[in-house]
Amino acid sequence: MGLKPTVAFNHLGCEKNRVDTEHMLGLLVQAGYQVDANEELADYVVVNTCSFIEAAREESVRTLVELAAAHKKIVITGCLAQHFHHELLDELPEAVALVGTGDYHRIVEVIERAEAGERVKLVSPEPTYLADETVPRYRTTTSSVAYLRVAEGCDYRCAFCIIPHLRGNQRSRPMRACRKWC
Ligand code: SF4
């Protein structure tokens, strides 16, 4: 079997998004992929985007455009992918995959399908997934810091807040899953 491709991550957004980045890294490492902090050395770059306010969207789009100019195979994940899932693949031909905030745990399958030549779109309209302690995680913070995400989403629909549209309804990790951080 040939060497699996190298995957780098460009992480944007909040620490909630960071936990998703760390789970994707963990899943890819467990599946035998090389991960590298250096985007220049990577075959694929996963951009875990933010879409909270205009400035965050601009930063996400700027990052995607820069990677497209560098001819990288781009996987768009995170909140911008969820928010603009109808148009992002059309807008960015260099993107090989689009993955929603409720689908990041399928990142290994996404890369496999992209490697097979498919342009992958995996976006649940209503994100419901929440990783627990059984999902591998590759921590990106310093050794004294680790984030424990105990809940995700929100059941309210306040007119000024986009979070439920990006992250789905409120769900919590069970107590058993909070005794271990990863
Ligand atoms: S949109 Fe909100 S939840 Fe998503 S990455 Fe940005 S700050 Fe985090």
Could you tell me the residue ranges of all domains in the chain? 6-178
Q: So what's the pLDDT on residue 140?
A: 94
Cα 47 to averaged position of ligand 1 atoms, centre (Å):
13
* Partners of residue 15 on adjacent β-strands: none
Q: What digits encode the pLDDT tens for the residues 34-62?
A: 999 899 999 999 999 999 999 999 999 99
Report the pLDDT value the prediction gives residue 176, as an integer from 0 to 100. Answer: 77
Give residue 3's pLDDT. Answer: 87
Of 77, 85, 73, 94, residue with least CA distance to 27: 77
Ligand 1 pocket: which of 10, 14, 162, 165 to mutate (most atoms <8 Å of CB)?
14
Question: 118: how many CB neighbours lie within 10 A of its CB?
Answer: 12
Taking only the tens place, the pLDDT of each residue in 116-127 is: 999 999 999 999
Q: Alpha-carbon distance 115 to 43, whole Å? A: 10
Cα distance between residue 176 and residue 90, in whole Å: 42
Distance from residue 4's CA to the centre of ligand 1 (Å):
30
Q: Within the chain, which residues score under 70 in pLDDT?
A: 1, 177-182
Which pTM does this prediction carry?
0.95
Q: What fold characterizes domain 6-178?
A: Rossmann fold (3.40.50)
Q: Is 99 helix (H, G, I), strand (E, B) or coil?
A: strand
